[in-house]
Amino acid sequence: MPEFSKNWERQEKAPVQSGPLKPAIENAIRLISAQTQRLDIASNKLVEKDRQIFQKVVDSYTKHDRSRALMYANELAEVRKLAKRVTQIKLALETISLRLTTVKDYGDFVNTVTPAISIIKGVQSNIFQIVPEAERGFSYLSESLSSIVTEAGASSNLNVSFEAANEDASRILSEAATIAEQRVKEKFPDLPADVPREGIEI
C-alpha cells in the first residue's frame, strides 16, 4: 500500500510543462486519472459501509426495534448522499478528461479548459470532506488547468468568457448529478417497506 501511495505522489507531482500546450493537456489528463482512481476507492468503501448499515437496518427491523431501524436508516441515507456525490464528481472528471483528450488533438484549449477549472473549484470543498487525501491532487490539477488557460490565452490573444464557462460547468455537473442519482438507485437495495421513513431522503 505505501508503494502504491508513492506512485500516486509521483503522478500528481508531474509539473505543468511550458511551451506547446499538448504536453500540459496530457499532464492534466494524467492528474484526472489519478483522482478518478482515488474516487473509485472511496466509492467502494462507501458501498461496503452501505452494506453494513443496511444489514443493521434489517436486523433492527426484524427485532421490531423501529427506533433503532430509523436511526440506522438515516445514517444509511447520509452514506448514500456521499456515494451519489462521489459518483457525480467522478463522472464530471471523466467528462473533462474526454474533452481534454479531444482538444489535445484539435485545439480550442481555452473554451474547453475554462469550464473544467470551474468544475474543479466547485467540487474541491465537497471532495475534501469525503476524501481528504485528494486535496493535493486536486490542487495540482487546478494549477495545471489554470496554467493551460493562461498560456493558451496569451499565445492566441483570446478573451476568456468566464460566464459561458460557468454555464457549461453547471450543465456538466447537472448531467453528472442526474446519472449519479440513477446509478446509486440501481446499486443500493431499497429499505424494507415498513421501516419508518420520516425525515429520510435517499
The model's pLDDT over 76-126, given as tens digits with 9 standing for 90+, comes to 999 999 999 899 989 988 988 888 887 765 556 666 777 787 788 777 777
Rounded to an integer, what is the distance from CA 21 to the centroid of its chain? Answer: 25
User: The domain spanning residue 48 has which CATH number?
Assistant: 1.20.1260
Per-residue pLDDT band for 155 (boundaries 50, 70, 90) equals very low
Does a structural domain hold residue 197?
no
Specify the DSSP class assigned to residue 189: P
The residue that leads in pLDDT, 44 or 170, is 44
Structurally, the chain folds into a number of domains equal to: 1
Instruction: Please state the separation of Cα 186 from the chain's center in Å.
Output: 19
Note the pLDDT tens digit of each residue in 156-186.
444 444 455 667 778 888 888 889 888 888 8
What is the average pLDDT across 129-154? 74
Lowest mean pLDDT among 16-30, 37-51, 127-141: 16-30
The answer to whether residue 121 is domain-embedded is yes
What are 177's three cell numbers? 448529478
User: Residue 7: inside a domain, yes or no?
Assistant: no
Q: How confident is the model at residue 13, as a pLDDT?
A: 43
Among 2-6, 131-135, 185-189, the range of highest mean pLDDT: 185-189
Residues 162, 114: contact at Cβ < 8 Å?
yes
Report the alpha-carbon distance of residue 112 to residue 63 in Å, rounded. Answer: 55
- Per-residue cell: 175: 448531467
- Neighbouring C-beta atoms of residue 15, cutoff 10 Å: 11
Q: Looking at the domain assignment, is residue 92 inside a domain?
A: yes
Task: Flag whether pLDDT at 19 surpasses 60.
Answer: no
* 194 in any annotated domain: no
Residue 53 has pLDDT above 50, yes or no: yes
- Residue 49, domain extent: 22-187
11 found inside a domain: no
- Residue 72, φ and ψ in degrees, nearest 5: -70, -35
Is 50 exposed, middle or buried (CB count within 10 Å of its CB: 0-12, 13-18, 19+)?
buried
- How many CA atoms lie within 13 Å of 126's alpha carbon, on the beta-carbon side? 16
CA distances from 172 to 39, 45, 154, 182 (A): 18, 25, 26, 16
pLDDT of residue 50: 93
- Split at pLDDT 50, 70, 90, the class of 10 is very low
Residue 175 lies in a domain: yes
* 90 part of a folded domain: yes
CA distance 33 to 93: 8
Percent of all residues in the chain with a pLDDT value above 90, rounded to a whole number: 16
pLDDT over 80 (residue 60): yes
**Model pTM score:** 0.70
Confidence of residue 45 (pLDDT cuts 50, 70, 90): very high
